[in-house]
Chains A and B, each alone.
Chain A
Amino acid sequence: MTEERALRGRTAIVGVAESDLGEVGPGVTALDLTEQAAGRALDDAGLTITDVDAVFSHSAFYPMPTVVLAERMGIRPRYSDSTATGGSSFLAHVRHATAAIEAGMCEVALIAYGSNQRSASGGLISSGQNHIPSYEAPFGPRLPVSAYALAAARHMHEFGTTREQLAEVAVAARLWAQRNPAAFERGDLSIDDVLNARMVSSPLTVRDCCLVTDGGGAVVLTSAERARDLPKPPIYYLGAAEAHWHMNISQTPDLTVTSAAQTGPRAFDLAGLTPADVDVVELYDAFSINTLLFLEDLGFCAKGEAGDFVSGGGIAPGGHLPVNTNGGGLSYCHPGMYGIFTLIESTRQLRGEAGDRQVADAHVALAHGNGGMLSSQVTVLLGDASVV
């Protein structure tokens, strides 16, 4: 059996793209946006549908999403994976695709997502309908935000984290978004603006919460050998890890520790790296508390210290660690499941294609996906040719 560490550098991202983002208007479906992103990512990779032999997708809009997408695009895959762990799914797909490519089960993997939630409903679309009883919904939480609010309240209680420190996360995201022409919210935002915004589920205001936008994204992954013949510089897979410890927030034993505390160290071990080696960090910031929890759990600071870590613009442009350089789910784009965009932005940063928001000398990126109610965590480490 192959040692997982042997997967380091064996596959690479060779194509990435977004669909139209923001508010696409009526008459455009979630599948239209998925197809659009997938087609653009194949163009970016210099590949066509005839090259794709593996499809990976997840959707809250239509069941059997890989089968639906493959029919739409005219792809007849020999490998199909609709792993559904919420917004982290697409990072899990990268790990699964790497294993499948290394095992010879496929060669070119297309990973895609699309959502028209803003134009269709104006609200967050969640995956699937529940036909089993809930031990939470009858008590009136506003999910998902109340789940994250409970985590934030506990973090504040245990570590003295403040609402101002949560607001720093939203302000840093906005400052990055102002450098990203594709970002949905680019107006000025201050700490006071966040604190004084409408309270949704205390201690989180509407500005601590992700956007509700339309949008799609896609990633093309292939073997390192094939990647070297393609037009864009390969962005190599260095290591990845998945974990989930609960689904419902009431079932997590410690609200201040996510299973990223397991995926971070495992991914770093597989990649032979430490947090100090990471040049750019793309975290799934569905809510401001996510960024604090993941910075701690992934090892960028000690447990309880993320509030101080982000203070004074610590993760904003010019800070000590570039985090969510596209503006994140808080200011750039959040079409229901954001995970694919952490991979797209990581790739662009490592290629040097990030324009006004480009991080200098970026060779290693960490992409981290979250799914459910802080439930599923997936960490992917990527690097350019200098680190493989």
Chain B
Amino acid sequence: MTDGLPGSPAEVPEHVGGPHAAYQALLAAGVLSFQACGACSSAVFPPRGRCSSCGADALQWRVSTGHGTVYSATTLTPRDRAAYSVVLVDLDEGYRMMSRIDQAPVAIDTRVTARLVRSGDDVLPVFDAEGEDR
């Protein structure tokens, strides 16, 4: 955090198109990323063009450690697959994302870590409760 922004700088591949494409390209390279605002230092997710806290055109790509805390969770029990939890995770860098934990139920406030998995053409960040072997 030497530059005063959350996370650490991320190298975005060139010519990737818009913010979503950049995020996907970083995931494909094994990096979970978010954006931080060079003007107000806010963490921003999901990807966008300008800071949604202050409006500045100053977003920078940052690497996330993938460590976070479950803010809320709901369990789904489909007939055709194992029960799973859809969670909202507050990442330590100060942004929130929806994800999945292949465990049910999951308690609010559980500490979790991201794991990148391939899903079709995309790479998705799913989470595991910390301290549990995979």
Contact = CB atoms under 8 A, between A and B. Distances in A.
A138 B100 CA distance: 9
Interface stretch (A30-38, A93-101, A148-156, A294-302): A148-156
Contacts of B124: 138-139
Contacts of B76: 140-142, 146, 200-202
A202 B74 contact: yes
A157 B88 CA distance: 14
A150 B84 contact: no
A136 interface: yes
B3 interface: no
Nearest to A157: B108
B62 interface: no
A255 B77 CA distance: 23
Nearest to B86: A141
Nearest to A199: B77
Contacts of A151: 72
B72 A139 contact: no
B99 interface: yes
A135 B100 contact: no
A154 B84 contact: no
A138 B122 CA distance: 10
A153 B108 contact: yes
Contact of B72 (A133, A140, A157, A248): A157
B86 A146 contact: yes
B2 interface: no
Give chain A's interface residue range (CB within 8 Å of chain B).
20 to 34
B16 interface: no
Given A201-B76, A202-B74, A135 B86 contact: no
Nearest to B119: A138
A149 B67 CA distance: 24
Contacts of A250: 88, 96-98
Interface string B70-90: 011111110000001010100
Contacts of A203: 74
B55 interface: no
| Candidate in B72, B76, B100, B122 with the most chain A CB atoms within 10 angstroms | B72
Nearest to A137: B98
Contact of B98 (A133, A139, A142, A153): A139
| Candidate in B84, B97, B98, B105 with the most chain A CB atoms within 10 angstroms | B98
Interface string A104-140: 0000000000000000000000000000010110111
Nearest to A152: B74
A135 B97 contact: yes
B115 interface: no
Contacts of B96: 250-251
A15 B114 CA distance: 55
Interface string A235-256: 0000000000000111100010
Contacts of B20: 133
Given A139-B124, A140-B84, A149 B98 contact: no
B70 to A, nearest CB: 10
Given A199-B77, A201-B75, A140 B108 contact: no
B86 A255 contact: no
B126 A139 contact: yes
| Candidate in A140, A141, A250 with the most chain B CB atoms within 10 angstroms | A250
B118 to A, nearest CB: 12
Given A139-B100, A139-B124, A202-B105, A150 B77 contact: no
B85 to A, nearest CB: 9
Contacts of B97: 135, 250
B71 A154 contact: yes
Contact of B86 (A139, A157, A248): A139
A255 B98 contact: no
Contacts of A139: 86, 98-100, 124, 126
Nearest to B108: A157
Interface in B91-108: 96-100, 105, 108
22 contacts: A138-B122, A138-B124, A139-B98, A139-B100, A139-B124, A140-B76, A140-B100, A150-B74, A150-B86, A150-B88, A151-B72, A153-B72, A153-B74, A157-B72, A199-B77, A200-B76, A201-B74, A202-B75, A203-B74, A249-B88, A250-B88, A255-B72
Given A135-B45, A146-B86, 11 more contacts: A135-B46, A135-B97, A140-B84, A149-B74, A151-B72, A154-B108, A199-B77, A202-B105, A204-B74, A250-B88, A250-B97
The 3 closest A-B pairs by CB, nearest first: A149-B74, A139-B100, A250-B98
